[in-house]
């Protein structure tokens, strides 16, 4: 941006759509309009003395792309603007981001409390890996904040939640859980993939760290994997940066460049997908072959009031339970012409998945039941197709049951 006194030179004064086109951009002397792709691992220095100062932190600059790269800087700065966070670090995948956020905050002897309805990989990290390294974990039903309060122990250092949850779109009250975590001296980490940064602001509600799988809405076109962790300058440039720097689950600059381009169209895409998702929830809610539709901003959602308070829109995912269990769910999915069978989400293409036999198949039937994953449950990630086509596709599928 120009060097005039225009107050809009301050990117924090801009609306999200503008921030996502311009925010974080650092132009090289060539003046390229699009963001430059720095596909390099190392850097050369003008002198040995300069290298020494750089490593001592006495001069600023980049020294190795595992933790310092201008294309990554642009992506991180743009994400931080959107989130209203002081700082961000990017990661190779969403799971690398979550693992860093959690592990950078604990050591052997500590305890974690998490909501039990979590993305499969996140639940694995908390439930299986953490205890292997001496960090105990307790999983609770996240719908009632009291469950977190009851699970807190003197050594609880992290509370980890996801809201809305995968795949049943249950909600966790972020502000209430933040208060409980802080009263016990623990940090709250929120996985905000399903709501997106456009519709839910965990840091404003009291979270300490927010994580994203950038693979989902941020890329939004099924091309690359990526992850982001955001929070205060202290946490991000401290624990999170150190863990990233020394363990190395770094985002590729090429993927960062694609994700920067993804961010430019994020508000347009997510708004369109959200409008279609709300239309689909309305169109299917009273269908005789549908046992329940779950959509955060649909009046039938059991936590509708919280959804309205915490999320500014219902976002892009809809859960449907069809009458007739697994057989009916398979029949519906297998009859679709436009919507693809896939466990990914946040894509331009609409994707449907049967969690019970895919993402959640490793769990026992008992765990699935307590998580609301009935045999007839399908999760639909609504894409950019015309919503009339999507509704027609689903109604045709329902007719085949």
Ligand X SMILES: *Cc1c(COP(=O)(O)O)cnc(C)c1O
- Residues binding ligand X (CB under 6 A): 93-95, 98, 119, 121-122, 162, 166, 191, 193-194, 213, 215-216, 225, 227, 345
Cα distances (Å, whole numbers) of residue 260 to 61, 222, 226, 290, 376: 21, 14, 11, 39, 38
Whether the bond between 121 and the residue before it is cis, its omega within 30 degrees of 0, is no
**Packing angle, helices 325-334 and 387-399, rounded to 10:** 130
Cβ proximity to ligand X: between 80 and 190 the closer is 190
Cβ proximity to ligand X: between 193 and 384 the closer is 193
| 120 closest CA partner among 167, 172, 188 | 167
| 392: Cβ contacts below 8 Å, ≥ 6 apart | none
Query: Least separation, in Å, of the C-beta of 251 and ligand X?
Result: 11
Query: Least separation, in Å, of the C-beta of 160 and ligand X?
Result: 11
Query: Least separation, in Å, of the C-beta of 115 and ligand X?
Result: 12
Query: Least separation, in Å, of the C-beta of 122 and ligand X?
Result: 5
DSSP 355: G
Cβ proximity to ligand X: between 303 and 328 the closer is 303
Cβ proximity to ligand X: between 121 and 324 the closer is 121
Helix (H, G, I), strand (E, B) or coil at 291: strand
| 361: Cβ contacts below 8 Å, ≥ 6 apart | none
Cβ proximity to ligand X: between 156 and 255 the closer is 255
Q: State which residue has the least CB distance to ligand X.
A: 94
What is the Cα–Cα distance from 230 to 158, expressed in whole angstroms?
16
Cβ proximity to ligand X: between 186 and 345 the closer is 345
Query: Least separation, in Å, of the C-beta of 163 and ligand X?
Result: 10
Query: Least separation, in Å, of the C-beta of 194 and ligand X?
Result: 6
């Amino acid at each position: 941006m120009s060097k005039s006194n225009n107050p809009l030179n301050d990117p924090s004064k801009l609306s999200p759509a503008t921030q996502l086109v311009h925010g974080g951009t650092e132009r090289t002397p060539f003046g390229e309009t699009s963001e430059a792709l720095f596909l390099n691992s190392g850097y050369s220095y003008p002198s040995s003395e300069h290298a020494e100062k750089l490593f001592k932190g006495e001069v600023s600059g980049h020294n190795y792309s595992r933790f310092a790269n201008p294309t990554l800087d642009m992506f991180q700065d743009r994400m931080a603007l959107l989130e209203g966070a002081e700082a961000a670090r990017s990661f190779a995948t969403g799971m690398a981001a979550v693992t860093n956020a959690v592990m950078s905050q604990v050591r052997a002897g500590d305890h974690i409390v998490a909501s039990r309805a979590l993305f499969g990989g996140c639940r694995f990290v908390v439930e299986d890996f953490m205890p292997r390294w001496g960090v105990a974990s307790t999983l609770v039903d996240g719908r009632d904040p009291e469950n977190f309060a009851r699970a807190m122990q003197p050594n609880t250092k992290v509370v980890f939640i996801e809201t809305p949850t995968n795949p049943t779109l249950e909600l966790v009250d972020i502000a209430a859980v933040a208060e409980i975590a802080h009263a016990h001296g623990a940090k709250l980490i929120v996985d905000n993939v399903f709501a997106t940064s456009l519709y839910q602001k965990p840091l404003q509600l009291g979270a300490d760290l927010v994580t994203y799988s950038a693979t989902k809405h941020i890329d939004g076109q099924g091309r690359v994997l990526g992850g982001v962790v955001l929070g205060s300058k202290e946490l991000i440039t401290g624990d999170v940066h150190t863990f990233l720097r020394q363990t190395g689950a770094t985002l590729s600059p090429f993927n960062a460049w694609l994700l920067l381009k993804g961010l430019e169209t994020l508000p347009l895409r997510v708004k369109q997908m959200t409008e279609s998702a709300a239309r689909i929830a309305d169109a299917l809610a009273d269908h005789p072959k549908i046992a329940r539709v779950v959509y955060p901003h649909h009046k039938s959602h059991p936590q509708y009031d919280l959804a309205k308070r915490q999320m500014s829109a219902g976002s892009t995912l809809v859960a449907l339970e069809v009458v007739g269990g697994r057989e009916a769910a398979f029949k519906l999915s297998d009859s679709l012409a436009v919507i693809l069978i896939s466990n990914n989400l946040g894509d331009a293409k609409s994707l449907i998945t049967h969690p019970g036999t895919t993402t959640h198949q490793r769990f026992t039937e008992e765990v699935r039941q307590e998580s609301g994953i009935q045999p007839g449950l399908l999760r639909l990630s609504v894409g950019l197709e015309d919503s009339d086509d999507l509704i027609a596709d689903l109604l045709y599928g329902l007719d085949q049951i």
